[in-house]
Amino acid sequence: MDDGITLKGEFQVDMPSFVGWFFGFRGRPAGQEWWLVGYTSTLTLLCGALLVTLQSEGYGLAAPWPVAALAIAGFVADRQSVRLSPQAEVSVTALPIVLAAVLYGPFAAILVSMASLLPSFRPPFGRWLTWTATRSLAAGCAGVVASALEDHDPRAFGRLLGAVAAATVVEQVGNVGLAWVPARLRGLSAREIAALASAVFLAIPLYAPVTALLVYSYREISPWSVVLFLLPAFVAQKLFLLYREQRATAEELAAAISRQERANLSFATALVATLDARDQYSAGHSAAVAVYARDIAARLGLTEQQQDLAHLCGLVHDIGKVGLPPGLLEKPGPLTPEERQLMEGHSAIGERILQNVEDYSEIAAIVRHHHERVDGRGYPDQLTSDAIPLLSQIIAVADAYNAMTSKRPYRDAMPSSIARVRLARGVGTQFDTSVVAAFEAILASATEEYRLGRSFEFTLAAQPQQDLLIETPPRILQAIAS
């Protein structure tokens, strides 16, 4: 058939499917993938044409064993590549390639460049073919330029330096220029390519004089001088590779911690949504307390981590109310003494719920004590003064203020000015002096919408993080049910 390749007369392979497999595409190539296939095919043909032209012009391989040694050096250098991004990596492979180009000509440079990419010979083979053709074309052109400019007179070091510099520029620029198209087609942004190119070009002023010294010492002193330099270069690259790996591990750990923090916030907002759905009068209360608590913590000069913790504790401070008897939260009038005693149990219930969440032990303790008073007349443990966690004292102030400025079934909302006066009256008995002073300083310069918990940030704090919502663990459901 016209659209297939016959292998040993036994079976047929569909040409487009084979091309897709060769280049690592999913199924048949389509759209811009055909552009990549065409570009790689063109590079391969140009590389073959260059080899034929070099042979016709009399270029050959004069020193096979030294070239083989440089090929091994290129192979080792590429094995130690340092990955800069998912699509890009760098190595010191340019050193043995340029050395081969200057010392032995373009044929040697092409062989060394091909050998350096042998570690990458694995599926998808189209990618390896693109890299090999790109590097070989750049190396061959560098060898032609070096051969045209160099003077073998040992006294003409300046001319040698110029030849090496020109060969280095051609090799580096050729690599970057020819790799631009496949890099763009494979998803690398123009900014990322430009950043990688700038890093390559900044290395040229270092590569050129070092390579010139190596060529000079190789010819005038001993070939072993090259080996004595390349070994430390590979060791330095290995150390840099280890540094990059350690840095990548640290970045992955930081990202995992960030995801955990967002998951914590997601979990908290999910619990708050459960509570708000039950008590329409307290809907939005936890979000307001969370914002006030975070801002008070910031005003007191606490660390950013403590501010985030205050916000999270504010969100879940009343979660124990989901475990109260039906009808208690919804009761329209004042509570009886027995009902008030049941209501006061919500902080202990909240602690029990949150203790079932991994890494929530500190949050659980803060929630348990957010109704303690500095005079020891609070609940559930009648703690006094410094025995009460600072974040619990912060939430107590934020909780009381928002409760006073919110409408309840048995009373109307208080004006913010009256609520602030009542907070001041509670200093030294119910509330900590420094916490109330910090909150008063915030409220004094705030808008009335902020004072009443109606500004945009309070609405935002109440919204669940849709992309991070996690399923409530069975242990939490059991704790809530009990």
Q: What is the pLDDT of residue 475?
A: 43
The answer to whether the bond into 66 is cis (omega within 30° of 0) is no
- Residue 260: which pLDDT band, with cuts at 50, 70 and 90? low
| pLDDT for 431 beyond 90 | yes
Lowest mean pLDDT among 145-159, 326-340, 348-362, 394-408: 145-159
For 306, other C-beta atoms within 10 Å of its C-beta total 17
Query: Pairing mode, if any, of strands 88-90 and 82-85?
Result: antiparallel
CB contact at 8 A, 207 and 174: no
- Residues 6 or more apart whose CB falls under 8 angstroms from that of 163 comprise 102, 145, 146, 149, 150, 151
**Residue given tokens 């935002």 in the structure block:** 460
Which two tokens mark 448? 């009335």
CB contact at 8 A, 312 and 363: yes
Which of 162, 163, 154, 158 has the alpha carbon at shortest distance from 106?
163
Mean predicted lDDT score pLDDT of the chain: 76
- Residue 435: which pLDDT band, with cuts at 50, 70 and 90? very high
Please report, as a single letter, which amino acid is at residue 251: E
Separation between Cα atoms, residue 343 and residue 479, nearest integer Å: 17
Q: What is the pLDDT of residue 80?
A: 63
Which two tokens mark 62? 């004069």
The CA angle 174-137-27, to the nearest 5 degrees, is 95
- pLDDT tens for 228-245 read 555 555 555 555 555 555
Lowest mean pLDDT among 121-125, 191-195, 275-279: 275-279
Phi, psi of 444 (to 5 degrees): -60, -35
Which two tokens mark 199? 């890093």
CB contact at 8 A, 419 and 404: yes
CB contact at 8 A, 106 and 54: yes
CB contact at 8 A, 397 and 288: no
- pLDDT tens for 359-417 read 788 999 999 999 999 999 999 999 998 899 999 999 999 999 998 998 776 678 899 99
Cβ contacts of 115-118, under 8 Å, gap ≥ 24: 115/71, 115/72, 115/74, 115/75, 116/71, 116/74, 116/75, 116/77, 116/78, 117/78, 118/75, 118/78
Can you list the domains of the chain with their CATH numbers?
31-221 (1.10.1760.20), 254-481 (1.10.3210.10)
CB contact at 8 A, 392 and 417: no
In the chain, what percentage of residues exceed pLDDT 90? 20
Average pLDDT, integer, range 127-143: 86
- Residue 3: which pLDDT band, with cuts at 50, 70 and 90? very low
Beta strands in 237-302 (DSSP E): none
72-76, 228-232, 301-305, 411-415 — which one is most confidently predicted on average?
301-305
| pLDDT for 16 beyond 50 | yes
| pLDDT for 280 beyond 70 | no
Average pLDDT, integer, range 464-474: 37
